[in-house]
Structure 1
Amino acid sequence: MLGLGAGGGAAKSPIKPSFVSYLTPEEIDVRDKEQAEKVDDVLLLPGEMLLCEANNVFKCSQEEGSQRGVCGRLLCTNFKITFLCEEMPDDNTPEFRNKIVGENDITLQCVDQIYGVFDDKKKVLVSGLILKKYPEKLIICCKDFRVFHFCLTYTKEEELKRIVSGIIHHTLSPKLLKRLFLFSYTQAAPCYIAATTRDDTLMFDTLKDWKLELERTKGNLGYKVLSVNGEYRLSKRLPPYFVVPISLQEESVSKFQGRGIPIWCWSSQHGTALCKMSSLPKEVDDNTIQDQKAFLSSVEQTLHRPPYEEVRIEDLSISLPSLSEVQAAYTRFKQLFLIENSTDFWDTDSKWFSLLDTSNWLEIVRQCLKKAIEVIDYLESQKINVVLKEDTASDFCSVIASLVQIMMDSYYRTRAGFQSLIQKEWVMGGHRFLERCNHLRSNKNEAPVFLLFLDCVWQLVQQYPLAFEFSETYLTVLSDCINIPIFSTFFFNSQHQRDTHKWIEDGPGKQKEALSFYTAWNWSVQFELKALSFLNNPLYVVEKSKQDKSRKGTRSKHQRQLSLPLTQSKGSNKKGFFREETGPFIRSLLGKRISKLISASDEVPSNYKVFYENWHRKPIDFHGLILPHIEGPEIRIWAQRHLRWIPEAQVLGGGNVAAMQKVLELMDEIQSLKRKVKERPTANLPTLKENDIDGRRKKSVRRSSLFPFALLHITSFRPSISTTTWRSWEAEDELVNRDDEYVELGSI
């Protein structure tokens, strides 16, 4: 597919064969389909190669004991595993369709686990395993919670060996970075300059972007942009440009390669700032320790200057779980949604909530939201600068810093602002996407930190939908982009790694040329313009207009009462404000066990509970500060992402989707009535399109609660429940004796 290069513009040095188009995305999509390579009637993306295939493969239904399914071809390319059905394609095109990854496509990075069925016994298949006997069925579990069953009983033996060995090797074996499809696609895909309006997403790869952010937040009053890391002379971990306090000397920044210094994230309207800081190396000799103490003392003087400025160090390695705990919790959590058949779904129904509780995933989500509220309390209520501290300052520092900015700054609740935030705190912040997402199958340091962040954002979106310009569908699609290797956004550990690997040789002895990677923010690469509307929140502009009017007049007195959290979370061991004789940076150097013993009686308790309760008693300003509910029942399952492929979990004509559709229908009717009243004096009154409204209302009733992702078939339910209004009045005995109804959600 085609898309914009990194930064939303055209490539500086197009890779041969070069192609620049000034067409609209719709015209580009048509030409892209014509240019895509075809191998035996298989449509491939630019740079995609067919590696192996098998015929007479049966894709089984997930209904237990059912012989339902379709026959077709199973293929493996250097980009994806795909199943081509031999039956005639359905003419009903879904409203929301991805142009790159279809319903039967699995990118190689999206494969989580593969099982083989040998004589009705399931066995985990791993890389390097020598098979004496090949399975009669493959079960592929995906990272987006899809589960595919492929029966190979009728496949020829040679094709069976090739497809099984090929899939295992290309999905589970460790690989080199430049072997990712990202590089093949970027070299082969033509570049274009779209004729549409340029996206306002800041990439933070230039000095100008950082200065714009400083000016927008008024952070330029106390902070400055440094370019000391140009060409990565200082550190390979830091980006070429970053922001530090004005009083901090460049020599101090260079001494320990950027470690141990406060790096600016954001400034509030009160002038307080949020910073992050990585730890200094721990395994050092005594002389180096003395140098570190002197260095930290000098850095402390730039921030902690009572009574003018106060600073608090939040050591996230103490107050939040470790990465291994996050990974273990997510491993338990995802097993609840990798449902292989309907029987497994109903068998776990009675113990589902207990399994959810023991996974501890939602508790970790709650802890992150709680920590963000504590940081906001210091910034907003107590007017104190906060420095988030972590070993690399690129995991939980990115999570908490991003959540704080989303809650306090309404700009980051717009689509362009949210994308700019991810670029600033995650991409340029050096989050190790390759390692944390395990894209290279090294199985080292894997932890779904970015997915944890998106889950926290979803909690905010579902509690305050009117405050966000983007929808929950946007977040769900963004979580899928992590495993689509045509965008560079989530496939590097640092900006240095991205810049180093973008250079290629056009041939022996020829000059190197730079690749222009595509970014996840080029949404037209994946979706048509009609489908892009699902990424926007239609009520956001309405609410913004309402808030603008309310600021001019008297605000409504809407009082809300909240209870304290139902589950007591462990308190932070970090001390409060730092005493003059022992600075925060030096104390952080002493280690966890020693720091707990120093000035324990001098700890200033956090007032976040008072701050939290007081805020929830005030009227809501959806374009001001928002704080989430963090009581146990308020932290919920991200159903649209986690349950979207389970037919039994879908509610026909119900859920948030149905409620939203009703609101949109009312808005349509109101707009139509306004036009009718406005045009009443004219001779020819336009007729109100009642048929269109009625058709839209009927269509919304038949939509699933997990729309627009509910594309599977509901074959049966247990127990049998009527899903139509008129049948709900039937006699009870007739309801019990009637066969389960068959509903195809894809045609809704």
Structure 2
Amino acid sequence: MVEEDESVKANGSPDLHLQHLQVSCPLLNGERVEYEGGAGGSVFTLTNYRLHIRTQDDIINVPVQLVESVECRDVTQLHLTCKDCKVIRCHFLSAEQCQDWSRRMNASVRPPVRLEEVFAFALLSCSTSTEEREVHDGMCRTGGHQHRFKSEMERMGFHTHSDWRISNINHNYRLCSSYPQQILVPASVTDQQLENVAAFRSWKRIPAVVYRHQSSGAVIGRCGQPEVSWWGWRNADDEHLLQSIAKACAADQKLLIMDARSYAAAVANRAKGGGCECPEYYPGCEVMFMGMANIHSIRRSFQCLRSLCAQVPDPVNWLSALESTKWLPHLSLLLKASLLVVNAVDRDHRPVLVHCSDGWDRTPQIVALSKLLLDPFYRTIKGFQVLVETEWLDYGHKFAGRCGHGENADDVNERCPVFLQWLDCVHQLQRQFPCSFEFNEPFLVKLVQHTYSCLFGTFLCNSVKEREERQIHQNTCSVWSLLRAGNPAFHNILYSPRSETVLHPVCHVRNLMLWSAVYLPNSAPSTPSDESCVPHSAPVSPEDTPVSSFSMNDG
């Protein structure tokens, strides 16, 4: 049981017997203590970045933006529900103390009114070392979409084929605010035609090619749904673009259009102005519906999973209770969809176009997982960074809305662990192919935590356009400064570069396992402390446990 007495403001005048508490939590650059208190050998420290609880036996270290909700239960018990599935319970000596800490925590975990309030900005701005600044500036100069885009185009052999071209139609994001500035399209399609296609696709997210299989020449593209509506609109330039993609691949088979939704959901979207491709208008294409759940169903499934994992385990009913959450079936369906793309591109030499409704949730899940299965480069630490930044960041996954750390991001209906679900699938692949990944499980666990922590600026904002406008790269540290290739803590000792080129996982639910390191208490793998790895940080005592090692108190 974690119990604590009256807290004191750090910037006030605490009683003499609490003076020693001021050194209980080593601070990062820019981190300041807002409240601190202790009793019976336990110390609570609330800063502008985290809640740090030091008990006689353990340390709980949770970033405040990782906390989704705070509520009082049983008068003296405070429940902190985290976005990564953990639940922390704190017991207090009185209801008044519990209410006081509830108010403090609720004020701390709310979405920021201004983006600059998140801790990632303070971390870098308070760095005074010239050497630290030079390291950070060097990382900023070597990153960026254009450098990454050019390298990827050359690596996949697009530069040697005249059937493809780089379009700058989205320069300064004038066409689509959630797309990168440069996109790859068939050479036979003009920018004027792309402009017409944008008027027909949801949020102007036109079909863009993001991968080419170097042996078969087949490509993978992504886009938003066509805006067919109940009127049954069609667009000649859109039809021409899809035909041109297949023609540029010299494909003998029809272009596979993979719609992540069910047919019923796609048709229902026509009432809101969306819809799906009509086969008679796209004679060179085949449409396949995957029946994947939308963000609302995934959110409910995750909430059920979190509730289950927070309970005292019941060995008799555990498997049936886990099945009832539907979390593993959702993972299974995502893996199956990705494997279908892999087989089409690798085995059948068939181009694939993937979309869902808007093209920024289920679409990057399928496309990124397919590329991971197809290409060993993306299974290296460097390649995985390229994969995440390209498919998730450059193409506009709404991290601010889905994670709830954007400005005034109070709408819980916008929140959903889409990226976490994808990382869970990557973990399932790691289990099935232990020698095929350069990075290990702690690497993925850290990535889960820092998707939400706001210690880094990598996952702030909803698009690359917003990140450029807010100068995120210049004013915050990158998560890849922690998860870098040179960090031995995240290197898989079983990794073999000569392992399978294309992975074909078993997708059935019975072959999947609950990711205990993320979802279950006291089961995280040993990982280095963030504070000892992140540039621009203050020294931290060696006994500090990582954020991943939450201590759960069941009372």
TM range (shorter): 0.7 to 0.9
Counterpart CA distance in 1 for 2:469 and 2:438 is 35
* Superposition deviation, residue 188 in structure 1: 2.5
| Alpha-carbon distance change, 182 to 299 in structure 1, aligned in 2, over 3 angstroms | same
Whether the aligned pair in 2 keeps the contact of 1:52 and 1:163 (CA below 8 Å) is no
The correspondence for 1:184, drawn from 113, 122, 131, is 122
- Give the partner amino acid of 1:216: R
1:478 — aligned with what? 447
Counterpart CA distance in 2 for 1:44 and 1:469 is 32
- Give the partner amino acid of 2:354: L
| Alpha-carbon distance change, 54 to 377 in structure 1, aligned in 2, over 3 angstroms | same
* Superposition deviation, residue 632 in structure 1: 3.0
Query: Which range moves more in the overlay, 143-152 or 465-474?
Result: 143-152
Whether the aligned pair in 1 keeps the contact of 2:127 and 2:133 (CA below 8 Å) is no
The equivalences for 1:202-241 within 5 A come to: 203-206=143-146, 208-220=147-159, 221=161, 222-241=163-182
The correspondence for 2:206, drawn from 258, 261, 264, is 261
The correspondence for 1:274, drawn from 220, 223, 233, is 220
| 2:289 counterpart of 1:334 | no
* Superposition deviation, residue 317 in structure 1: 1.9
Counterpart CA distance in 2 for 1:147 and 1:708 is 13
> TM-score w.r.t. structure 1 length?
0.58
- Give the partner amino acid of 1:52: Y
| Structural RMSD (CA) | 3.5
1:52 — aligned with what? 35
Counterpart CA distance in 2 for 1:714 and 1:464 is 35
1:488 — aligned with what? 457
The equivalences for 1:515-534 within 5 A come to: 515-523=474-482, 532-534=487-489
Q: Secondary structure at the match of 2:46?
A: strand
Deviations 1:343-381 (A, max 9, x none): x23xx2211100111111101111111111111121122
| Alpha-carbon distance change, 79 to 334 in structure 1, aligned in 2, over 3 angstroms | same
- Give the partner amino acid of 1:218: G
Deviations 1:110-154 (A, max 9, x none): 11332313xxx3xxxxxxxxxxxxx42323232344443333216
- Give the partner amino acid of 1:270: S
Deviations 1:687-707 (A, max 9, x none): xxxxxxxxxxxxxxxxxxxx9
The correspondence for 1:143, drawn from 69, 77, 83, is 83
| 2:531 counterpart of 1:639 | no
1:302 — aligned with what? 244
2:274 — aligned with what? none
Bigger-Rg structure (1/2): 1
Deviations 1:404-428 (A, max 9, x none): 1111111111111011100110011
| Alpha-carbon distance change, 204 to 369 in structure 1, aligned in 2, over 3 angstroms | farther
Whether the aligned pair in 2 keeps the contact of 1:109 and 1:484 (CA below 8 Å) is yes
Query: Which range moves more in the overlay, 372-381 or 220-229?
Result: 220-229
Q: Secondary structure at the match of 2:166?
A: strand
Counterpart CA distance in 1 for 2:244 and 2:235 is 15
- Give the partner amino acid of 1:369: L
Whether the aligned pair in 2 keeps the contact of 1:237 and 1:496 (CA below 8 Å) is yes
Q: Secondary structure at the match of 1:633?
A: helix
Whether the aligned pair in 2 keeps the contact of 1:76 and 1:163 (CA below 8 Å) is no
Whether the aligned pair in 1 keeps the contact of 2:218 and 2:350 (CA below 8 Å) is yes
Q: Percent identity?
A: 21
2:387 — aligned with what? 421
| Alpha-carbon distance change, 154 to 175 in structure 1, aligned in 2, over 3 angstroms | same
| Alpha-carbon distance change, 184 to 193 in structure 1, aligned in 2, over 3 angstroms | closer
| Alpha-carbon distance change, 714 to 432 in structure 1, aligned in 2, over 3 angstroms | closer
Q: Secondary structure at the match of 2:88?
A: strand
Paired residues in the alignment total: 472
Counterpart CA distance in 1 for 2:249 and 2:181 is 34
| Alpha-carbon distance change, 306 to 349 in structure 1, aligned in 2, over 3 angstroms | same
Counterpart CA distance in 2 for 1:229 and 1:441 is 31
Whether the aligned pair in 1 keeps the contact of 2:21 and 2:43 (CA below 8 Å) is no
| Alpha-carbon distance change, 171 to 375 in structure 1, aligned in 2, over 3 angstroms | same
* Superposition deviation, residue 279 in structure 1: 2.1
Query: Which range moves more in the overlay, 246-255 or 408-417?
Result: 246-255
The equivalences for 1:280-291 within 5 A come to: 280-281=226-227
| Alpha-carbon distance change, 331 to 713 in structure 1, aligned in 2, over 3 angstroms | closer
Whether the aligned pair in 1 keeps the contact of 2:36 and 2:43 (CA below 8 Å) is yes
| 2:452 counterpart of 1:497 | no
Whether the aligned pair in 1 keeps the contact of 2:43 and 2:53 (CA below 8 Å) is yes
Counterpart CA distance in 1 for 2:478 and 2:66 is 18
1:113 — aligned with what? 69
* Superposition deviation, residue 493 in structure 1: 0.7
* Superposition deviation, residue 312 in structure 1: 1.5
- Give the partner amino acid of 1:51: E
Counterpart CA distance in 2 for 1:406 and 1:200 is 25
Deviations 1:304-356 (A, max 9, x none): 449943412111122122221111111111222224xxxx23xx221110011
| Alpha-carbon distance change, 144 to 322 in structure 1, aligned in 2, over 3 angstroms | closer
Counterpart CA distance in 2 for 1:451 and 1:202 is 27
Counterpart CA distance in 2 for 1:200 and 1:406 is 25
Deviations 1:456-501 (A, max 9, x none): 1111111111111111121111111112212122222101111122
Q: Secondary structure at the match of 1:482?
A: helix
Counterpart CA distance in 2 for 1:150 and 1:283 is 51
Whether the aligned pair in 2 keeps the contact of 1:51 and 1:166 (CA below 8 Å) is no
2:284 — aligned with what? none
2:370 — aligned with what? 404
Counterpart CA distance in 2 for 1:161 and 1:495 is 40
Whether the aligned pair in 1 keeps the contact of 2:86 and 2:520 (CA below 8 Å) is no
Query: Which range moves more in the overlay, 305-314 or 424-433?
Result: 305-314
Whether the aligned pair in 1 keeps the contact of 2:124 and 2:477 (CA below 8 Å) is yes
The correspondence for 1:461, drawn from 430, 441, 451, is 430
1:317 — aligned with what? 261
Deviations 1:20-54 (A, max 9, x none): xxxxxxxxxxxxxxxxxx99435433333333344
Counterpart CA distance in 1 for 2:469 and 2:309 is 38
1:537 — aligned with what? 492
Whether the aligned pair in 1 keeps the contact of 2:60 and 2:551 (CA below 8 Å) is no
* Superposition deviation, residue 202 in structure 1: 8.0
Deviations 1:238-289 (A, max 9, x none): 11222222222111223326736321111002100000111244669x7xx7
Task: Show structure 1 runs of 5+ residues with no match.
Answer: 1-37, 57-69, 91-102, 122-134, 504-513, 548-621, 651-655, 658-706, 716-748
Deviations 1:526-575 (A, max 9, x none): x9x8xx423111121xx34xx4xxxxxxxxxxxxxxxxxxxxxxxxxxxx
2:10 — aligned with what? none
| Alpha-carbon distance change, 406 to 76 in structure 1, aligned in 2, over 3 angstroms | same
| 2:186 counterpart of 1:248 | no
1:82 — aligned with what? 52
Counterpart CA distance in 2 for 1:322 and 1:371 is 15
Deviations 1:384-417 (A, max 9, x none): 1110022222211111111111111111111110
Q: Secondary structure at the match of 1:467?
A: coil
Counterpart CA distance in 2 for 1:400 and 1:241 is 22
Counterpart CA distance in 1 for 2:126 and 2:135 is 22
- Give the partner amino acid of 2:217: G
1:376 — aligned with what? 342
Whether the aligned pair in 2 keeps the contact of 1:433 and 1:493 (CA below 8 Å) is yes
Q: Secondary structure at the match of 2:177?
A: coil
Task: Show structure 2 runs of 5+ residues with no match.
Answer: 1-19, 263-289, 527-545
Whether the aligned pair in 1 keeps the contact of 2:70 and 2:102 (CA below 8 Å) is no
